[in-house]
Amino acid sequence: MTTRRRADTPQLRALVLQLRVVADLLDKHGDRTVGFSRLLASRGWPASTGGGGSRSSDTTSSTERAALGPHPWAGIDERYLGQLAELWKLGVAVQATMSSVLAHASDEDPVPAGTGHCRRCERFCRPTGDRPQDRIRAGYCPACYRRWLRLGRPDRTTYERTPDDAA
C-alpha cells in the first residue's frame, strides 16, 4: 500500500532527525535562548561596529534609523515564544492524529505470510494476488522447497550448504 505524499512534505526520516536536533537544542539551550532573545530585541542595532573606519554618508541619527527600518532582532523574543507555542500545538496535534489512526488501524500484519528470502538461494519471495504460489515454505523458495522434498527432507544445514549440482 503506497500513499501519495504532498509535495511539501519532508521524508519521515529527515523530519525525525530534524525534530531530534530541535529537541536537543531546546533541552540544552531553550531557556537561555528566551533570555538572550529578550536582550537582543531590546538592544537593536549597534550605533557603530567600532572599527574606526570611514564614516557613512548617512545623515540620519541612530534613533531615526531605528524608527525607519527595524533591525533583524526586532521582536525576536516574541517570535521565538510564538514559535515555541506553535511547535507545542503542532506536536500535540500530530500526536493526537497518530494515536487516533493507530487506535483504529487493523491489527493485521501488512506483510503477507510467506514473504522473505530463501535460506538456500537468497531469492526474495512475496505472495501476491496474481502469484500466490511465490511464497516461502519451511524457509525455502518454491524451487528449493520442492528439491528439499524430492531429496527426502535432508538435514537443513547440509542441504543449505550443498550446491545444486552436487546432489
pLDDT tens profile 82-109: 999 999 999 999 999 999 998 888 776 6
120 and 87 part of one domain: no
Going by the DSSP 8-state scheme, the letter that residue 166 receives in this structure is G
Mean pLDDT value across residues 12-33: 94
81 and 133 part of one domain: no
91 and 25 part of one domain: yes
- Asked whether residue 108 is assigned to any structural domain, the reply reads no
20 and 97 part of one domain: yes
Q: Which pLDDT score, from 0 to 100, does residue 131 have?
A: 79
Mean pLDDT value across residues 24-33: 94
97 and 143 part of one domain: no
To the question of pTM greater than 0.85 for the whole model, the response is: no
| pLDDT band with cut points at 50, 70 and 90 for residue 3 | low
Q: Cα torsion at 96, 97, 100, 106 (round to 10°)?
A: -140
Asked whether residue 1 carries a pLDDT value surpassing 60, the answer given is no
End-to-end alpha carbon distance in the chain: 41
Among the listed ranges 13-17, 37-41, 55-59, 107-111, which one has the minimum average pLDDT value? 55-59
- Asked whether residue 148 is assigned to any structural domain, the reply reads yes
CA distance 141 to 116: 9
- Asked whether residue 7 is assigned to any structural domain, the reply reads no
69 and 120 part of one domain: no
* Nearest Cα residue to 25 out of 74, 78, 83: 83
Mean pLDDT value across residues 120-135: 84
Count how many domains the chain has: 2
pLDDT above 70: percentage of residues in the chain = 81
Top-confidence range, 42-56, 77-91, 102-116, 122-136: 77-91
Mean pLDDT value across residues 121-130: 85
The domain in which residue 28 lies consists of 12-46+62-101
32 and 92 part of one domain: yes
86 and 149 part of one domain: no
